[in-house]
Structure 1
């Protein structure tokens, strides 16, 4: 069995697909968990908001690939809505996928890491969870909560040999950002110190760095954001 097994949620497209591909290129056996099939060693179709199904998928991944030593929680949804127009259903959807989905993945994977005394978790938050943005209140709130979850979990399991950190990307060049999005507008990009969108491979590299890093990276947030938040 491979020495390094990773679970990547949201692995079918966007940042999750980039992370899964990057890890595979660097020797990881990846179980991709998504509503859609992913191009991974073990593509499993599962809803991250279903804790029981996600737990069963992790059990299957460990049975087929070996003990999970890395987790990247890249599953997420984004929409821009003015705060006064956000419906209860929209609040629930964003929080269930972005926050509860992250918590479910951690709950499915981390106990095994703790029992073995080894493992690393990288949650995917967002630069908007650090700095906020007009029209993104429910998304920013969900991603800010992911940072809080990350730091709390990091403190909880560090002495068991499990490191938990977060990557909080800025606007990245993925299908999540539509062609007419203000994040693609020249006025926004030209205002950045690095005047372009973040590349998915840059986010993936940050995730792998935190998975593989040795030392005192515990409860930290690494933000590849082209200088949007400094």
Structure 2
């Protein structure tokens, strides 16, 4: 029997690359998509790779052709950020953030699910951020784009709920990505603290509503995603929080 096919958008580095490699280790036939050239990605030979820019409209036309039909699983992990040092981004900069983080993914996922044969089930898991609950001065524009993605993901779930598909959201808190971990290590060494102590202090100051003392590791994210996939059709429209939010929160 042929292995199930997975498409991971935003797979060149970080969490997207981890998910792509882990899916391949678990027996999936995986195609990763990212902006970077193959030679500078964090992928190994187990993952097929397509270089594509999700900020470009032509990607909507070309990528579905290259994928050649809807896979059994689509994971959206692509993301971009504006310059946090700029207090008022230009309209072009705003549009770039919303195009990559919300608008192009919505159109692309809609296209792939529309092209899916009716007898083929497809799970679509959209990775999002707990930033949607905040409107801070520096990160508010990023948060707004991710909030837009959340609304559009809900639309997709409603649109395709009768079409043998599942569209769900994996909502993530502060991740243990390489840059953040290295920065915390550097600052901890400078201050004569352990990385664990500094991480606790960082999370309490930057995310006072969270009840976690350490960054969320990539493998926990993968296991959460796999759970959503294993739920099948019943996961449609669901939001799975892995963000260390207070158990007392009603949202």
**TM-score tier after normalising by the smaller chain length:** 0.7 to 0.9
| Alpha-carbon contact 1:15-1:74 (below 8 Å) kept | yes
From 191, 195, 201, give the equivalent of 1:187.
201
From 237, 242, 249, give the equivalent of 1:219.
237
**What are the equivalent positions in structure 2 for 1:1-230 lying under 5 Å apart?**
2-36=2-36, 37=38, 38=41, 39=43, 40-62=46-68, 67-79=70-82, 81=84, 84-113=87-116, 115-175=118-178, 177=180, 179-180=182-183, 186-190=200-204, 192-227=210-245, 230=249
CA 1:200–1:2 in 2, change beyond 3 Å: closer, same or farther? same
| Structure number, greater radius of gyration | 2
1:83 deviation in Å? 8.4
1:6 deviation in Å? 0.9
1:141 deviation in Å? 0.5
Aligned length: 226
- Partners of 2:47 and 2:86 in 1: CA distance: 41
Q: Deviations over 1:48-89 (max 9, x none)?
A: 123433543333233xxx751111110101346378433323
CA 1:141–1:176 in 2, change beyond 3 Å: closer, same or farther? farther
* SS of corresponding position for 1:213: helix
| Alpha-carbon contact 2:34-2:51 (below 8 Å) kept | yes
- Partners of 1:14 and 1:193 in 2: CA distance: 24
| Alpha-carbon contact 1:33-1:45 (below 8 Å) kept | yes
| Alpha-carbon contact 1:48-1:105 (below 8 Å) kept | no
Give me the TM-score of the superposition, normalised by structure 1. Answer: 0.85
- Partners of 1:58 and 1:178 in 2: CA distance: 35
| Alpha-carbon contact 2:82-2:142 (below 8 Å) kept | yes
1:193 deviation in Å? 2.1
Give RMSD over aligned pairs: 2.8
Deviation beyond 6 Å, 4+ runs, structure 1: none
Q: Structure 2: which 5+ runs fail to align?
A: 188-197
